[in-house]
Structure 1
Amino acid sequence: MARRMSPEEYQAIGRSYYKLKQYEKALETFSKGIEACPTADLYDHRAATYDKLGNLNAAVKDGREMIRLNKKDVKGYLRTASILEKLEKPETALGIYKYGMKNVPPSDKNFKLLQQLHDKFTRKLSPASAIDPFTVLPAELAEMVLEYCSFRHMVNCMRVSKGWRDYLSKLPKLWMHLDLSGARRPVPRSFVNTAFKRSEYRLTRVTIHRFEHMDVLKNLAKAAKDLTELELISVPHTMSATLIDVVKSAPKLKKFTIHPEITQDTAVQIMHARPVLEHVVFGALRSRGAATNWTTSFGNLRTLGMHWSSPVSTVNLGLHDLLARTPCLESLALSNVQHIEAPQGWPRDEAQLPPLKSLALKRMDLLVLPLLPPTLQRLVIENDGGEFDLQHILPLHKCCVPELTHLAISGFKGLGTEALGDILDICSHENETATCSTRKPLQSLTLHGLVDSSSNHMFGLGQEARMESIFGDSPRVLTPALESLDIATMPCDDDDIEKLVNLYKTGLKTIDLSHTQITGASIKMLADKLPNLTTITANNCAKINGRDAINYAERKGISVSCQMAEQKGGRRLRYG
């Protein structure tokens, strides 16, 4: 009887044929061995033989048989995946490697090889996550993307690689605005000089912060022939002469803004040094106490902001004279100014007023509301005294503001039912029908303060709602044109909100009810009744005690802010 050969003997004979490149005989031997006693090694060798003969599909089948016979043997996964790679099926090969990593124990000496091949295929098949966009995007698109970056972010981009640094340094358009507002530590003079060179000496805007070398700034103003805007967020110390020289050195300068404190004399000299300025803002002025002597006209000035660190009189400021020398002034912002009611504090005739479109009077102690020009579109009044209600500070000569669309009033003792009507509707013109027949309705209204004791309801009652409302009977207030309403700190409750949404048709998009007595019911009413509403602010409303109403509004696409101040011994709550 013939002796049966063992799998090892079939394997040895087949390998001998394989080494001699007699692949047909090797295939026959391995096949006989598998028929007699199939083992993973025999399938492995036959798969290799099929590979040499070009029968890759048969080789894959043998590889899968290896895995079926022993899932913990790494050789079946390696053989099968390598053949699949030759068949140009990388996704299937990656699946085999993943399956192998689940079944092969990490203690196996070849597990790391399996993991490395898995990671290699993953990187190969995954989209590249580190492609340099500057090598893919057209130059025009790359520049458009970079223009959305802040100056600080653009500087950080230069640290990514040498290629990025070289690319960004050769785009002068990105360096036209030297913006140091984001500086976290002192800026060296070398950086400013380098940035100026990268702009090809064509800087148009400069924002200074944490930069101590004022001599460099002076030289920069001289060399940058196209410099039109200069903003100083911080300066090392008061350098009046240097600031004046900087302004003098920039022939095309149009906008000048300085936030640190300077003297009133320095501010006047700066304006006289460059009378063609169009935009000037002084963030912190220190009064000298004496009257200001204005000797120059400022025919190009469109925007003027003057804010004092301590109260100053309009007489000392020479405001009446200054307004007479600014015939084109459109925006005026003053803070901490007193005695506007003085004879020389403010013009008494419309003809003496510049064509103001925006007037902001903040931190004021008003006794009389100044005469307002008919061109006014935005008015902000923040009273500091609190001695009078709005009814008592109305102008000695009635105003006419048919163009007014944005009004903000705060800081008064009370708001009477006729206060808004006196500002918006009383006309001083002899022929009111001819000149004020088309008064524009308000688009934005802010009222912060107390309701006059004689007014018990914010929005009135019944059919006589307007007459009993602190909003008065003005047809310009609660109209479909009204998009923004801020009545934070006012004595408003759910009943008032119910009247607002039911008795008046408004186009409100945003409403601020912070520090009022509303509950979640008001938020639901606003969400249901105001179809254009996008934002509700209800911070520190103590009667809102849950998220139900907030979630209800948010499901309708309305953003709700409802933060509660931290109480003593408690913690800050945030409902929305």
Structure 2
Amino acid sequence: MRPTPSALHSQGQKLYQKGDFKAAITAFTEALKQKDADAVGILDNRAATYCKLEQYDQARRDAKHMIKQAKEDERGYLRCAKVLLLEAKPEKALEIYAYGLKVLPSGHPRREIMEQLHKKLEDRMNLNRKDPFTMLPLEMAALVIEHFSFKNIVGILRVCKSWERFFGNMRELWMKIDLSGARQKVPWTAVRAYIRRSRGLLTHATFKNLALSSTPKSIEFLSRCPRLEHLELWVNHDFKDIFQKFKGCKSLKNIILSAEISVPHSCLERLLTQFPKLERIELWSVKHSLLTIGEGNWPQSLPNLKSITLATQQAVSTAPPTALVIPNLDHTLVVLPPSPDDGDEAPPIQFPPLRRLELNGLTIGSNFCSILPTTIEYLSLKGGSSRSTADFSDTQKFEKLSTLMLKDAGWVNVTTATFMICGTQAPLRVLHIDECFNLSDRCFMEVLRYASEHNPEVFNLTELSLVQMQGFDDSFMKRVCVQFPKLKALNLSKTRVTGCTIRDLADARLNESSELPSLDVLCVRGCESVSSDAIAYGRERGLEVIT
């Protein structure tokens, strides 16, 4: 039995019937203050009154209070759903009905009313729903689907059977398999289904998050795809088996093998020779032994190779060097046939069109900078060692080198850095010298002084990273930054800079006459002297401060 309305409650109901809604709200509010008041009933009446005044946020608040005070009273759910319908939010109202049906016990006397209202609203919403892919022309639908990730495409197959048929029969959608976004381990049966949807003609495959037991079968299915161009494996598997499975895929342009796949150094030549169309290769675990150093040179001709990434997981020692020796890049020279006008002159020599080279943990030779192709645009050297103390004095010009990244390389000092930055006369736009402990702040300034005469193009940098550079503090920051007027991103992580650096760089964004550049991004991870106030100060002035 619900309590009998109090005098104030009854007065509010009469005022509501007369249309005096503001006075009714006052009466209901006073009624709520009385002891032993029917709070749910009063809130229900006040919410209805707020709806008459189109104050839906107040009405929704009262309805939610009703649900909190009495979860097994259907009035709270009914009132909240009515308010949401008045606000043109039928989806939310349907959720409230569903939640109420979940909470109310099966024997509740008014549960049937809520079930009817839920079904009525659900049917009405279904009538208004139309499948966009059945209404759009096929060409338009294909343009929309192009923006979906592979994970999205797999997910929408489960929406309904019509979508499963529609998307499942579009072979173009299954030409690129990317399992990197999978939340759970992918079984081989799913891989087989994806390949079948492409009719076995897929061109790109990224295998990640595969169940360990599913890896052999998944690779077997993939190796049967004759048009495969992009092979990316982030799985634990034997390289010999991978090579045997894919050596017949003559269309391969990109090969990326994770650190879990050890590639013997001696197999490099065979791997590169087998795929004449290769444009990009990334091997994150090249394995060598003392008996194989110097073996595995590049083939005589790789005219399409543009990007090389080699990394080793083995420890580096420098005397004698036992780290992986980079295959001599000069062995990839392509010799052009002599022309009739050349006479007895030697034929010209051309390097392969290499644009990107990334080496992690590898030993480099003293002639490294003299044998790189002049087409190089991106060069990243991390870890590793140099085979000798030579200063790279045979450096040639790299007129296209815009990105140079040096990290944790003990051979980087004032001499080698000068030759790589200035001797190459590279038009650098991105320069990273991170954790190179033989290059201090003073050494870096010497490099810049030499660059002012021999390679002024370096002062057009837009991104500079000097992580953990010795001696780098606030005053040195100013000496460096004033020389790079176009700088937009700066990484000073693990240096001795303080909040003063952030404040100075933040103020420079608002002061056109400042000598400091107008930065967009500043990274100060691991800078112990940087305060939270300075970080907030920088962000308030539009500087993106990364901590």
- TM beyond 0.5: yes
Structure 1 pair 253–510 and aligned structure 2 pair: CA distance change class (3 A): same
- Number of the residue aligned with 2:396: 399
> Aligned-pair distance for 1:192?
1.6
Q: Deviation per CA, 1:224-260, whole angstroms, max 9, x where unpaired?
A: 343221111114x426245323231x34332222221
- Number of the residue aligned with 2:488: 509
- Number of the residue aligned with 2:535: 550
Q: 2:333 aligns with which of 305, 321, 324?
A: 324
- Number of the residue aligned with 1:302: 306
- Number of the residue aligned with 1:381: 381
Letter of the structure 1 residue corresponding to residue 534 of structure 2: A
Q: Structure 2 regions of 5+ residues with no counterpart?
A: 1-6, 32-36, 93-124, 337-346, 509-515
8 Å Cα contact 2:228/2:251 also seen in 1: yes
Q: Partners in 2 of 1:287 and 1:167 — Cα distance? A: 50
* 1:115 matched to 2:76: yes
Structure 1 pair 216–483 and aligned structure 2 pair: CA distance change class (3 A): closer
8 Å Cα contact 1:253/1:277 also seen in 2: yes
Corresponding residue SS for 1:380: strand
> Aligned-pair distance for 1:198?
2.7
Q: Partners in 2 of 1:322 and 1:518 — Cα distance? A: 46
Structure 1 pair 499–42 and aligned structure 2 pair: CA distance change class (3 A): closer
Q: Deviation per CA, 1:37-58, whole angstroms, max 9, x where unpaired?
A: x9999999xx9xxxxxxxxx99
Q: Deviation per CA, 1:99-132, whole angstroms, max 9, x where unpaired?
A: 799899978xxx9464344123123234244789
Corresponding residue SS for 1:275: coil
- Number of the residue aligned with 1:441: 427
Q: Partners in 2 of 1:205 and 1:515 — Cα distance? A: 40
* 1:357 matched to 2:330: no
* 1:499 matched to 2:501: no
Corresponding residue SS for 1:412: coil
Structure 1 pair 125–200 and aligned structure 2 pair: CA distance change class (3 A): farther
Q: Deviation per CA, 1:509-559, whole angstroms, max 9, x where unpaired?
A: 111111211111122222233453111111222332x22221121111111
Q: Partners in 2 of 1:522 and 1:396 — Cα distance? A: 36
Structure 1 pair 368–472 and aligned structure 2 pair: CA distance change class (3 A): farther
Structure 1 pair 457–305 and aligned structure 2 pair: CA distance change class (3 A): closer
Note the 1:44-443 alignment, pairs <5 A. Answer: 61=19, 91=54, 112=73, 114-126=75-87, 127-129=89-91, 135=131, 139=136, 147-160=146-159, 162=161, 165-183=164-182, 186-209=185-208, 210=210, 212=214, 214-215=216-217, 217-222=219-224, 224-235=225-236, 237-238=237-238, 240-241=240-241, 243-248=243-248, 250-259=249-258, 260-287=261-288, 289-290=291-292, 291-292=295-296, 297-310=301-314, 319=328, 322-324=331-333, 351=349, 353-366=351-364, 368-370=366-368, 371=370, 372-382=372-382, 384-385=384-385, 392-410=389-407, 411-412=409-410, 415-416=413-414, 419-426=416-423, 441-443=427-429
- Number of the residue aligned with 2:343: none
Structure 1 pair 206–281 and aligned structure 2 pair: CA distance change class (3 A): same
Structure 1 pair 65–226 and aligned structure 2 pair: CA distance change class (3 A): same
Q: 2:523 aligns with which of 537, 559, 573?
A: 537
Q: Partners in 1 of 2:307 and 2:65 — Cα distance? A: 71
Q: Deviation per CA, 1:250-273, whole angstroms, max 9, x where unpaired?
A: 343322222211334555444333
Corresponding residue SS for 1:227: coil
Q: Partners in 2 of 1:208 and 1:58 — Cα distance? A: 66
Q: Partners in 1 of 2:252 and 2:452 — Cα distance? A: 46
* Higher deviation after alignment, 277-286 or 485-494: 277-286
Q: Partners in 2 of 1:76 and 1:281 — Cα distance? A: 70
Percent same amino acid among aligned pairs? 21
Structure 1 pair 497–170 and aligned structure 2 pair: CA distance change class (3 A): same
8 Å Cα contact 1:151/1:179 also seen in 2: yes
8 Å Cα contact 1:60/1:84 also seen in 2: no
* Higher deviation after alignment, 490-499 or 127-136: 127-136
Structure 1 pair 190–90 and aligned structure 2 pair: CA distance change class (3 A): farther
> Aligned-pair distance for 1:84?
12
> Aligned-pair distance for 1:405?
2.1
Q: Partners in 1 of 2:46 and 2:184 — Cα distance? A: 59
- Number of the residue aligned with 2:498: 519
8 Å Cα contact 1:350/1:373 also seen in 2: no
Letter of the structure 2 residue corresponding to residue 351 of structure 1: I
8 Å Cα contact 2:305/2:352 also seen in 1: no
Q: Partners in 2 of 1:403 and 1:254 — Cα distance? A: 23
Q: Deviation per CA, 1:346-391, whole angstroms, max 9, x where unpaired?
A: xxx9936334333334324446242044333333334534898xxx
Q: Deviation per CA, 1:140-160, whole angstroms, max 9, x where unpaired?
A: 777656544443344344445
Q: Partners in 1 of 2:480 and 2:377 — Cα distance? A: 25
For the aligned residue pairs, the C-alpha RMSD in angstroms reads 4.9
Corresponding residue SS for 2:262: strand
Letter of the structure 2 residue corresponding to residue 526 of structure 1: L
Structure 1 pair 515–325 and aligned structure 2 pair: CA distance change class (3 A): same
TM-score after normalising by structure 1? 0.64
Q: Deviation per CA, 1:66-115, whole angstroms, max 9, x where unpaired?
A: 98988678999999999999xxx7947997897799899978xxx94643
Corresponding residue SS for 1:393: coil
Q: Structure 1 regions of 5+ residues with no counterpart?
A: 1-37, 48-56, 328-348, 428-438, 563-576
- Number of the residue aligned with 1:10: none
Structure 1 pair 78–305 and aligned structure 2 pair: CA distance change class (3 A): closer
The size of the alignment, in residue pairs, is: 460
Structure 1 pair 81–141 and aligned structure 2 pair: CA distance change class (3 A): farther
Structure 1 pair 251–458 and aligned structure 2 pair: CA distance change class (3 A): closer
Q: Partners in 1 of 2:350 and 2:256 — Cα distance? A: 27
Q: Partners in 1 of 2:60 and 2:286 — Cα distance? A: 73
Corresponding residue SS for 2:480: helix
Corresponding residue SS for 1:536: strand
* Higher deviation after alignment, 484-493 or 527-536: 527-536
Letter of the structure 2 residue corresponding to residue 535 of structure 1: V
Structure 1 pair 145–534 and aligned structure 2 pair: CA distance change class (3 A): farther
